[in-house]
Amino acid sequence: MNVGFMLRRVAEEKGGKEGVIFEDNRMTYGEFNARVNRLTNGLASLGIKKGDRAAVLLFNCSQYLEIYFAAAKLGIILVTLNYRLAGKELKYILDDSTPTSLFFGDQFHEVILPLRNDCPTIKHFIHVGEGEKGGLIPYESLIDGSPNSEPSVDVALDDDQLIIYTSGTTGYPKGALVTHGNTLWTCINQILFFKDLNEDDSTLVVMPLYHCGAQNDFTTPIFNVGGKIVIMERVDPEKVVEMIEKERITTALLLPTLLHMMFQLPNLHKYDLSCLRYVMTGGAPLPRVTIDNFYNRMGYHVCQVFGLTEGTALSTILSKEAAPRKIGSAGRPLFHVDTRIVDDQDRELPPGKVGELVLRGPTVMKCYWNNPKATTETIRNGWLHTGDLARCDEEGFISIVDRKKDMIISGEENIYPMEIEQVLYSHPKIKEAAVIGVPDEKWGESVKAIVVCKPGESLTEEEVISHCKQHLASFKKPKFVTFIDELPRNPSQKVLKRVLREKYGRK
C-alpha cells in the first residue's frame, strides 16, 4: 500500500472517467495512469531506483502530478522546489537533498543552466517542454519509449515519499521528510471529516503544487474517491472564478489573499459559484473582519483550517456546522490527530490558557532531512512542536493566538501581536498590518505596528495609535507606527516577521 497504489486502484475502478484536466488537456483516469506508468518505467530504464531523490521545478501542470505519482510508484523521494527561489537558494536545497535527477520546465532553463555543472549528484536533467535542448532528456521521450505496465517495486506505508522544504520564515529552509503513510492518513482524515466526498466532486488546484497544501488538501482525497482534478498554472482571481463556474468545482483550497482578490472583482456577481460545497482556507490566523467577509460572501462552507508542512498539511478544521458559534477558531483536530496545549516545560495546560500547540499521530513527518538537531528540537517525546501559540476551549476547539517566536514581552507582560493586528484590521483605512517588538531600554520590548493603507487612503501615526487605544489595554497599543506599501510574504502568504524585524526592528 502506497500513494501510487491509490492511483492504480482508482484507474482500475474508474478508468473511463475523466480525472485530470489542465488547460486543453483532459485525461481519463485510465489515460493518466498509463502515462504515469510509462514515466515510471522510463525512469527505471535510466537506472533511477527506490530511495533515490528526484527534484522537480515546474509551474502547476498535469506533468507535475504525473511525476508525483511516478515517483511514488518507483519509491523515489520527490523533492518539490519552490519556483520563486533564486539560483543560490535552489542550490542550497539541491546540495542538501542530493537528488540524482531534476525535472524542470522551459521557464527555468536559465536558472538551471549554471547548476548543471555545480550539482554533481544530478545525473539526469529532464526537460518538460517543447523541443529538444542539448544534454537534456526530453520528458515525453521517457513516456513514448516505455511500456504502460504497472511497476513491481515494493513500496510500503513507512517508506519515504517527499522532502518538502519549509518556507524559511526563520532562516534557512529545512526539509520535512514525509512518508507514504503520512500522506495517506492525511487523505483518510479529510474523507472522514467531510464524509460525503464522492466521484461527482471536483477540486481546483490553484495553490503551487510544490506546497504540501496543494498536494494534500482535497487533492489526494478527490483522487481517492475518483473525482475530478482541475489544475491551474497560475493564480488569477478572475480566471479562478471562471474555472469554478465552467468546471462546476465543488471543493477548493483557496488562501485568504486569493479570496480577497476574488471578492474585489467588480463582476463577481455575474459568476455562478453555487457549485462550491467546501472551501478550505488558512495559512495564517485570520482577522475577524476578514472572517466576517468570507462568511457574508460565501457562507459557512468556508472552513478555516490549521496545518503545517511537518504535519503533512492539515491538522485541525472548523466545520461549517460549528462556524457560526466558533468564529475565529481553527476547529478541532482531525480524527487521526492528537493535540495538546503545553507550557515551556511541556506540561499540558487547562482550557482557556495560552500555550504552544503540539500534535502527534500518523500524519507527523518522519524527521527533518539531514538535520537531526532540528528534528530533536521539534519532535519531543513523540509530539510535534508547532511553534504556534494557541488556546483550547472546553469543547476542544482550538484558536491560534500567534507564533511563539513573535510574542512580545514588555515589562514582564506577554503581548500577542495578532490581538493588536485584529484591531488594526478593523480600521476602515487599513488594508493590512503586522506587529513586531522593538528593543526598549525600560520595558525590554515595545510594540511597533507596520501598516499598509488602502489605495487612496492615508493615516498618521497618531491616528493609528489612537484607534488602538480605544480597543486595547494601554500597554498593548503600538508606541511606533511605520507605513509601507506591501507586507513581505512567503509563498504560503504568511507575513515574514523576520524580514520586518530586520528592516524595521528599531524605534
pLDDT given for residue 492 in this prediction: 67
Mean pLDDT, residues 34-57: 98
* Parent domain of 331: 182-404
- Cβ neighbours of residue 285 closer than 8 Å, sequence gap 6 or more: 330, 400, 401, 402, 418
pLDDT given for residue 53 in this prediction: 98
Q: How many CA atoms lie within 13 A of 252 on its CB side?
A: 26
Residue 494's domain is classified under what CATH number? 3.30.300.30
Q: Round to whole Å and give the CA distance between 355 and 361.
A: 20
Mean pLDDT, residues 278-290: 75
Both 441 and 392 in a single domain? no
Structural contact between residues 253 and 280, judged by C-beta atoms closer than 8 angstroms: yes
Among the ranges given (70-79, 255-264, 326-335), the one the predictor scored with the smallest mean pLDDT: 255-264
Q: Is the pLDDT of residue 58 over 90?
A: yes
Q: Is the pLDDT of residue 423 over 50?
A: yes
Q: Is the pLDDT of residue 285 over 70?
A: no
What confidence tier does 48 reach under pLDDT thresholds 50, 70, 90?
very high
* CA 343, chain centre distance (Å): 27
Both 256 and 393 in a single domain? yes
Identify the residue whose cell numbers are 522510463. Answer: 42
Residue 49's domain is classified under what CATH number? 3.40.50.980
- The fraction of the chain above a pLDDT of 90, given in percent, is 72
The DSSP bridge partners found for residue 448 are 436, 480
- The fraction of the chain above a pLDDT of 70, given in percent, is 97
In the DSSP assignment, the letter for residue 108 is: G
DSSP-derived pairing of the beta strands 302-306 and 316-317 = antiparallel
In a domain, 174, yes or no: no
The highest-confidence range among 123-137, 190-204, 441-455, by mean pLDDT, is 190-204
Q: Is the pLDDT of residue 101 over 50?
A: yes
Both 411 and 400 in a single domain? no
Both 271 and 372 in a single domain? yes
Task: For residue 273, give the 3-state DSSP assignment.
Answer: coil
Mean pLDDT, residues 410-430: 88
Residue 318's domain is classified under what CATH number? 3.40.50.12780
Mean pLDDT, residues 172-197: 95
Q: Is the pLDDT of residue 436 over 60?
A: yes
In a domain, 161, yes or no: no
Q: Is the pLDDT of residue 219 over 80?
A: yes
Q: Is the pLDDT of residue 169 over 60?
A: no
In a domain, 321, yes or no: yes
Mean pLDDT, the chain, rounded, equals: 92
Identify the residue whose cell numbers are 516545560. Answer: 345
Among the ranges given (35-39, 222-226, 264-268, 445-449), the one the predictor scored with the smallest mean pLDDT: 264-268
Based on the structure, what is the number of domains in the chain? 3
pLDDT given for residue 44 in this prediction: 97
What confidence tier does 443 reach under pLDDT thresholds 50, 70, 90?
confident
Both 349 and 227 in a single domain? yes
